[in-house]
């Protein structure tokens, strides 16, 4: 029997059991256990007065860059950043070099993840090499450990391929994640289409480039009965389509990222490449729609699309710069701002960042019931800090939030009862 840990006096928020109040959480052998009448010898007790104790946060959309682009991020550095951000698990996208399109790459990722700082859930490619032609081997990758499939970043243009992918995903009980972008319409644009793009002389990406594809995905999900998960929703129009599909009973879930409910296209002014990502930052109207959708359930998940890049890809002409920003270490703080703003409550935060991603991916966690894995995040909702490049564990320093004064963060992260991050 391993040492017992007691997280004492914290506010335990566990949406699945409906619990929200001050209590103690007991952990032993990597699992949550029921409180016992006597405290065993050698028990490690953490006093968490004033802190929140929640099921470990899961970020279902990150780019760990390994194998192949270790100069941007490694599984080691990426999971360290995850733990620092309060994440006990991350789902990593397949656009590595080589692409995660077969079981040997999946195995490589999982081997590298052993002993790292968070659970790693690989996501496999939809097509071989994410080239948009022919299905990757979902079954063998699933056996090796993938939790979903996607051609993230290289969206599937061919509708027949997407249909077959969804059908085939049903056979292997996999969710299909869609980076929804009609690339012939986004047409090399590099920011949201509108007055800001016009002022800056940058080619715009219309909102329709996203919502057209969201509509295709939910239509094919309805046709096939597959579960489609819409990644990084950025527009009001996409939300309207998702809401309509949910009403029709389509198996669709959707995520957004903190930058879409925090920033608008205005952040690009001055040609700041740290405000460049795909889909792009949108208008204030879209930002408000996303905040409402997080509250009313049209959106299920907050995921970061953590996309570390080096200065080589970012300190260049705006239209030449790589898409994407880091997110693991700022996501919780930015989401806590939604709680303070009264957009969502604490329970909803836990649903969006833990319960729903665990359920969608079919992975452990999302619950603090006895017998569950002891993946736990301890949050200090009050602490104020300045997010700096120096304190960031990610190799990528490409964040528009560098220099921001933030409030609330993870102060302890436990994976299977093991402390992976602790700044208490």
Q: Which residues bind other proteins (CB under 8 A)?
A: 187, 193-195, 197-204, 206, 270-271, 315-320
**C-alpha angle 371/372/378, rounded to 5°?**
125
Rounded Cα distance between 240 and 298, Å, is 9
The two three-digit tokens of residue 122, written as one number: 């690989």
Least distance between other proteins and beta carbon 199 (Å): 7
Which residue's CB is nearer to other proteins, number 206 or number 308? 206
For the sheet with 228-230, list strands across it.
57-62, 87-92, 119-124, 148-149, 175-178, 228-230, 252-256, 301-302
The two three-digit tokens of residue 177, written as one number: 């994640």
Least distance between other proteins and beta carbon 313 (Å): 11
Which residue's CB is nearer to other proteins, number 34 or number 184? 184
For tokens 């840990």, the residue is 5
Least distance between other proteins and beta carbon 85 (Å): 29
Quickly list DSSP for 279-295.
SPP--HHHHHHHHHHHH
Annotated active-site residue in 14, 152, 305, 380: 305
Rounded Cα distance between 400 and 37, Å, is 49
Q: Residue 31 burial (CB < 10 Å; 0-12/13-18/19+)?
A: middle
- Is the distance from CB of 119 to CB of 375 less than 8 angstroms? yes
Establish whether 305 is a catalytic residue. yes
Least distance between other proteins and beta carbon 111 (Å): 35
Which residue's CB is nearer to other proteins, number 195 or number 389? 195
- Is the distance from CB of 344 to CB of 389 less than 8 angstroms? no
The two three-digit tokens of residue 293, written as one number: 């959708």
Rounded Cα distance between 304 and 89, Å, is 13
Least distance between other proteins and beta carbon 319 (Å): 5
Least distance between other proteins and beta carbon 397 (Å): 16
Question: Residues with catalytic annotation?
Answer: 305
């Amino acid at each position: 029997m391993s040492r017992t840990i007691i997280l004492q006096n914290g506010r335990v928020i566990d949406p699945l059991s409906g619990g929200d109040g001050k209590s103690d959480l007991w952990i032993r052998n990597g699992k949550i256990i029921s409180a016992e009448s006597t405290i065993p010898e050698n028990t490690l007790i953490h006093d968490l007065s004033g802190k929140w104790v929640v099921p470990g946060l899961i970020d279902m959309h990150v780019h760990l860059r390994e194998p192949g682009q270790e100069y941007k991020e490694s599984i080691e550095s990426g999971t360290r950043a995850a733990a620092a951000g309060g994440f006990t698990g991350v789902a990593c996208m397949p656009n590595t070099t080589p692409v995660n399109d077969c079981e040997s790459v999946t195995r490589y990722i999982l081997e590298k993840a052993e002993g790292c700082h968070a659970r790693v859930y690989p996501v496999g490619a939809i097509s071989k090499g994410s080239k948009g032609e022919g299905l990757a081997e979902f079954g063998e990758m699933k056996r090796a450990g993938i939790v979903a499939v996607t051609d993230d970043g290289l969206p599937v243009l061919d509708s027949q391929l997407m249909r077959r992918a969804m059908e085939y995903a049903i056979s292997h009980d996999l969710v299909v994640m869609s980076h929804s972008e009609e690339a012939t319409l986004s047409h090399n644009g590099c920011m949201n289409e509108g007055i800001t793009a016009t002022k800056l002389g940058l080619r715009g990406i219309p909102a329709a480039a996203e919502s057209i594809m969201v509509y295709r995905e939910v239509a094919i999900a309805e046709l096939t009965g597959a579960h489609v998960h819409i990644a990084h929703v950025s527009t009001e129009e996409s939300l309207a389509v998702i809401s309509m599909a949910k009403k029709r009973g389509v198996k669709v879930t959707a995520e957004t990222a903190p930058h879409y409910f925090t920033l608008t296209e205005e952040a690009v002014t001055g040609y700041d490449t740290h405000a460049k990502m795909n889909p792009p930052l949108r208008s204030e109207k879209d930002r408000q729609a996303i905040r409402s959708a997080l509250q009313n359930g049209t959106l299920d998940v907050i995921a970061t699309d953590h996309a570390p890049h080096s200065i080589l890809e970012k300190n260049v002409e705006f239209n030449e710069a790589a898409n994407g920003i880091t997110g693991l270490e700022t996501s919780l703080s930015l989401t806590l701002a939604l709680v303070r703003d009264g957009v969502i409550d604490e329970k909803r935060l836990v649903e969006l960042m833990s319960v729903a991603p665990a359920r969608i991916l079919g992975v452990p966690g999302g619950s603090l019931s006895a017998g569950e894995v002891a993946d736990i995040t301890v949050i200090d909702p009050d602490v104020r800090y300045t997010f700096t490049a120096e304190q960031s564990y990610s190799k990528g320093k490409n964040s528009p939030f560098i220099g921001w004064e933030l409030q609330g963060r993870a102060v302890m992260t436990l994976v299977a009862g093991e402390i992976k991050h602790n700044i208490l």
